[in-house]
């Protein structure tokens, strides 16, 4: 069913009310059960320091402090702050809903389906949308992506920089944005994009260096020397090895999470960052190769480029997650806007459905993994086989989704080429 402009707006309003209702239910549960959320126990103390002019040492880049400080302007108690934070997170989720609709409209795809997919996936992850910072960089990255595909390049690079200064992961999209310009020998946009990205980051960092307390770059040191977190891909496979007696591991609390230490995790940890760099270089090279093939096969049109771009972004984000030292449950929020984007490209319906089913499975396993392993303050994973198995299952599901996305994009080019060949071309 194709909706008119008024029909789409009404549908967006209905789905928007779903987010508002989810926010209200979430806050009611928190209040009635007297739960101590991350927002109240971690972000609220940070916000109080910021309000009093102090710069706390955060594990996040400095622009995250803006989103932490805003709710404190409207509330002075932990629960009041929680209410304001959830309202802020809900507002960003709604911005993402509108941006998703605009992307679907641009590519003449079913806005009804795109909006519904985005809403379902976000609602399934809503406990993390409402209780973590990740919705803010995720939507900023989506807005940057929207500006990029609509050729508002300066704004795209500026928003990507702001997203990176909120949480570091969006930086991996920076080379993906630049590669098409390099291939077109459009050096002007290469320099302009790099200039806007770097200057925006500089001006975000600058005020924090003049505050006089704390360290604006503390987040870099915080992440560099930490051991693998128990939910990471590395830790889940090492834990499996320990189950068979191949090594010994211990779970300790440090760097704000439960992490794994022992002979194997200690030996592997220093190589994870170089591994990530190597994997990303391969992804960037593969992206350039796929774009070259589109030109070779005379399929260099916007629709086909968007399939390759969307798949590359998803694969890069998942590679960042899978090779990292940390794989917190809320990281799945990062890929939801781009999973939705793949559903509105010209990719075939079978591949779309498989990607969507795999994504829902990842979300479901993430929630299961969180509830199993958080049941005893994060220590269940060290004492029960169920905790280890749910973590491993979630990570394998993410690995499968990542591999399938890359495979689909690669085969898409060959398949489209084959379909457009005439009999004479094949002789």
The predicted-structure confidence for 310-337, as pLDDT tens digits, reads as follows 999 999 999 999 998 899 899 999 999 9
Residue 339 tokens, joined: 């999973």
Res. 259 pLDDT band, cuts 50 70 90: confident
Residue 281 class from Cβ within 10 Å (0-12 exposed, 13-18 middle, 19+ buried)? exposed
User: Residues 368-372: what's their mean pLDDT?
Assistant: 85
Per-residue confidence at 220, pLDDT binned at 50, 70, 90?
A: low
CA distance 180 to 288: 8
Whether residue 73 is predicted with pLDDT greater than 90 in this model: the reply is yes
Higher-pLDDT residue of 218, 98: 98
SS3 of residue 229 by DSSP: strand
Look up the pTM and report it: 0.91
Question: What is the reported pLDDT for 421?
Answer: 44
Q: Give the Cα-Cα-Cα angle 314, 307, 317 (nearest 5 degrees).
A: 10
Q: How confident is the prediction for the chain on average, in pLDDT?
A: 87
> 5 versus 260: which is more confidently predicted?
260
Read out DSSP for 316-349?
A: HHHHHHHHSS---GGGHHHHHHHHHHHTTSS--H
> Does pLDDT of 150 surpass 90?
yes
Residue 411: band (very low, low, confident or very high) from pLDDT cuts 50, 70, 90: confident
Q: pLDDT digit string (tens) for 276-307?
A: 999 999 999 999 999 998 888 777 788 889 99
- CA 153, 186, 183, 414 torsion-angle sign: positive
Q: Which two tokens stand for residue 300?
A: 């260099």
* DSSP code, position 228: P
What is the SS3 assignment for 245-311? CCCCCEEEEECCEEEEECHHHHHHHHHHHHHHHHHHHHHHHHHHHHHHHHHHCCCCCHHHHHHHHHH
DSSP characters over 83-124: HHHHHHHHHHHHHHHHHHHHHHHHTT--HHHHHHHHHHHHHH
pLDDT category, 383, cuts 50, 70, 90?
very low
pLDDT value of position 425: 42
What pLDDT does residue 120 have?
A: 96
The predicted model gives 205-234 an average pLDDT of: 73
pLDDT-derived band at 414 (thresholds 50, 70, 90) equals confident
What is the predicted pLDDT for the residue at 51? 84
> pLDDT band for position 355 (50/70/90)?
very high
User: Which pLDDT value is given to residue 422?
Assistant: 41
């Amino acid at each position: 069913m194709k909706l008119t402009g008024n029909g789409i707006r009404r549908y967006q309003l209905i789905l928007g009310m779903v987010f508002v209702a989810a926010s209200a239910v979430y806050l009611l549960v928190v209040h009635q059960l007297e739960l101590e959320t991350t927002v109240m126990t971690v972000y609220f103390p940070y916000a109080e320091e910021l309000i009093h002019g102090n710069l706390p040492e955060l594990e996040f880049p400095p622009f995250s402090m803006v989103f932490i400080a805003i709710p404190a302007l409207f509330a002075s108690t932990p629960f009041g702050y929680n209410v304001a934070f959830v309202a802020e997170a809900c507002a960003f989720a709604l911005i993402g809903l509108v941006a998703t609709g605009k992307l679907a409209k641009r590519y003449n795809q079913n806005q009804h389906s795109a909006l519904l997919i985005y809403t379902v996936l976000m609602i399934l992850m809503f406990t993390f949308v409402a209780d973590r910072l990740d919705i803010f960089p995720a939507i900023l990255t989506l807005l940057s992506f929207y500006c990029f595909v609509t050729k508002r390049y300066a704004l795209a690079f500026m928003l990507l920089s702001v997203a990176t200064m909120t949480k570091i992961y969006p930086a991996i999209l920076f080379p993906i944005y630049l590669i098409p310009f390099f291939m077109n020998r459009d050096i002007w946009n290469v320099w302009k994009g790099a200039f806007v990205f770097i200057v925006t980051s500089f001006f975000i960092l600058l005020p924090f260096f003049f505050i006089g307390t704390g360290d604006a770059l503390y987040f870099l040191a915080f992440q560099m020397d930490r051991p693998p977190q128990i939910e990471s891909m590395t830790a889940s496979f090492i834990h499996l090895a320990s189950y068979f007696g191949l090594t010994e591991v211990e779970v300790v609390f440090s760097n704000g999470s439960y992490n794994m230490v022992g002979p194997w995790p200690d030996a592997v940890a220093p190589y994870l960052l170089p591994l990530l760099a190597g994997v990303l270089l391969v992804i960037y090279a593969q992206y350039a190769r796929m774009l070259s093939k589109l030109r070779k096969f005379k399929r260099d049109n916007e629709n086909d480029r968007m399939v390759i771009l969307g798949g590359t972004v998803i694969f890069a984000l998942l590679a960042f997650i899978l090779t990292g030292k940390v794989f917190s449950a809320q990281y799945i929020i990062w890929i939801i806007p781009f999973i939705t984007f793949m559903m509105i490209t010209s990719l075939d319906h079978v591949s779309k459905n498989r990607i969507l089913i795999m994504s829902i499975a990842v979300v479901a396993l993430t929630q299961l993994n969180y509830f199993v392993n958080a049941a005893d303050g994060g220590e269940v994973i060290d004492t029960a086989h169920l905790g280890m198995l749910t973590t491993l299952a979630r990570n394998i599901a993410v690995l499968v989704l990542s591999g399938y996305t890359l495979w689909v994009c690669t085969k898409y080019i060959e398949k489209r080429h084959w379909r457009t060949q005439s009999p004479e071309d094949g002789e």
